[in-house]
Structure 1
Amino acid sequence: MPRKSCRSVAVLLTASFGLFAGGCATPAAQSPTPDAQSATTPATAPTSGSATVQAPPDDVDLPASDVVTSGVAIRPATGALAEATPSPVSLDIAGTDIQVGVIDVGIEEDNEMEIPESFYEAGWYRYGPAPGSAAGNAVLAAHIDIGTEVMPFTQLKNVPVGTLITVGRENAEPVQYEVTGVRHEPKATLNTSEIFQRDGEHQLVIITCGGDWLVDKDDYQDNVVLTASPL
């Protein structure tokens, strides 16, 4: 069976921040990272999926030097989210093979969230809170593979409540979280406004694909959503 990868999230720009739903697509081949050379088959790179974009209201502050996608200006948040919170650089979920690098990601020209092509990296959505922030949800997303299911994030669905997560940060001490829940959410009904909220109690949220593979849609049915609270 051909190897495929999961496009975890697509992006919808709303009044306050970027939101994610999802789609998967057949990839082209790529090589794994150096740490992954022992994998039995090479990692693969995803291709683009579908997304929708809604223009922000007039009261959204969009300074100069915006990134423009389909006429919608998108850039890192100002105000409360402009706090000097270090960027995440690594993710370690105890008891799993999810010990990967983390890179900052934004939105591609096709209006989809950028997700690292490597199965051994997660993307942090830089337009939202960062791990270690005082409020809101810090969101990471990554691909899984289809068929062989040997890549790290295929294990996300089985992480037990109470598991320790360590997020390394650039030029700062790491921050730690404790898993509070892991659930499957149908992509068609995923409550993105709840997952990607910018205020309220701080959480870490990690998303990938899961559930049944829908051959007719060339996509997974669900997103796997892990939530964790800071220690």
Structure 2
Amino acid sequence: MATAALAAVATLRAGPSDQGAPPPDFGPAAPARAAAASELPGPTEPSPPPAPRGERREAPPERVLVGDVGLNARVRPVGVTEQGAMAVPGDPAVAGWYRFGPAPGSPRGSAVLVGHVDGDTGALGEFAALYDVRPGARVEVRRAGAGSAVYRVVARATVPKAGLPSSTFRRTGPPVLTLVTCAPPFVPEAGGYQANLVVTAEPLPA
């Protein structure tokens, strides 16, 4: 599966792709914007420069867990493709962290984790579990060289591929964790899934 897309191929088995509609949403809806990319758009800002020598970097995420729905995925850093879309790990069991934005546990901005809902064999991806997430679900992000960053889910919204909220990749403002995967409808002739499921979680006190 191409790493640039959150779309799945046409050879799917039973699973979220067979649903006629995305799961019911909850929480406040974020404002949407038109996006130039047909897949998961990249950030609206250019990638930040490398941190100056000697400056402390944020601890990178290694694993994300949502015990209420059985999500347990290894996390690896990703960037953007030549087309400007955010890259996504090809393995549906692995989540991608947008390494040019905030890391989970950052005191500001939106830390973005993305993953496929299923793979080219029809096997469900770890992020398919987001279809069942409910308000208040605990999200733990285990980090390299630091303690876990812990969040609680406050919102879930389904948006068209071209309507991803502008706040998804923000680097300022209150800290949140943003989890993104694909959502129905699935239209093979149009390239696959036509929407994204966006889950927002707020940090819990340490």
Q: Match for 1:26 among 9, 14, 20?
A: 9
Instruction: Count how many residue pairs are aligned between Structure 1 and Structure 2.
Output: 175
Task: Report the counterpart of residue 7 of structure 1 in structure 2.
Answer: 5
- Deviation string 1:56-113 (CA, Å, 9 cap, x unpaired) is 7xxx7xxxxxxxxxxxxx565658xx75210000000112231011011112334332
Aligned partners of 2:115 and 2:127 also within 8 Å:
yes
CA distance in 2: counterparts of 1:54 and 1:96, whole angstroms: 29
CA 1:148–1:50: 2 relative to 1, 3 Å: closer
Moved more, 197-206 or 215-224: 215-224
Higher strand share: 1
CA distance in 2: counterparts of 1:154 and 1:134, whole angstroms: 28
How far apart are 1:117 and its partner, in Å?
1.3
CA distance in 1: counterparts of 2:190 and 2:87, whole angstroms: 21
Q: Match for 1:124 among 97, 115, 125?
A: 97
CA distance in 1: counterparts of 2:44 and 2:169, whole angstroms: 18
Aligned-residue Cα RMSD (Å) equals 3.2
CA 1:25–1:110: 2 relative to 1, 3 Å: farther
CA distance in 2: counterparts of 1:55 and 1:165, whole angstroms: 26
1:36-115 matches, cutoff 5 A: 74=47, 76=49, 84-115=57-88
- Deviation string 1:22-58 (CA, Å, 9 cap, x unpaired) is xx25399xxxxxxxxxxxxxxxxxxxx76888997xx
TM-score by length of 1: 0.65
For structure 2, list consecutive stretches of 5 or more residues without a partner in the other structure.
12-37
Aligned partners of 1:7 and 1:209 also within 8 Å:
no
For structure 1, list consecutive stretches of 5 or more residues without a partner in the other structure.
9-23, 29-48, 61-73
Question: % of aligned pairs identical?
Answer: 31
Q: Match for 2:151 among 141, 155, 177?
A: 177
Aligned partners of 2:5 and 2:39 also within 8 Å:
no
Q: Does 1:155 align with 2:129?
A: yes
2:112 partner letter: V
SS in 2 for 1:153: helix
1:89 partner letter: E
**Higher RCO, 1 or 2 (CA under 8 Å, sep at least 6)?**
2
SS in 1 for 2:153: strand
The structure number with the bigger radius of gyration is 1
- Deviation string 1:117-137 (CA, Å, 9 cap, x unpaired) is 111110000000000111000
Aligned partners of 1:213 and 1:220 also within 8 Å:
yes
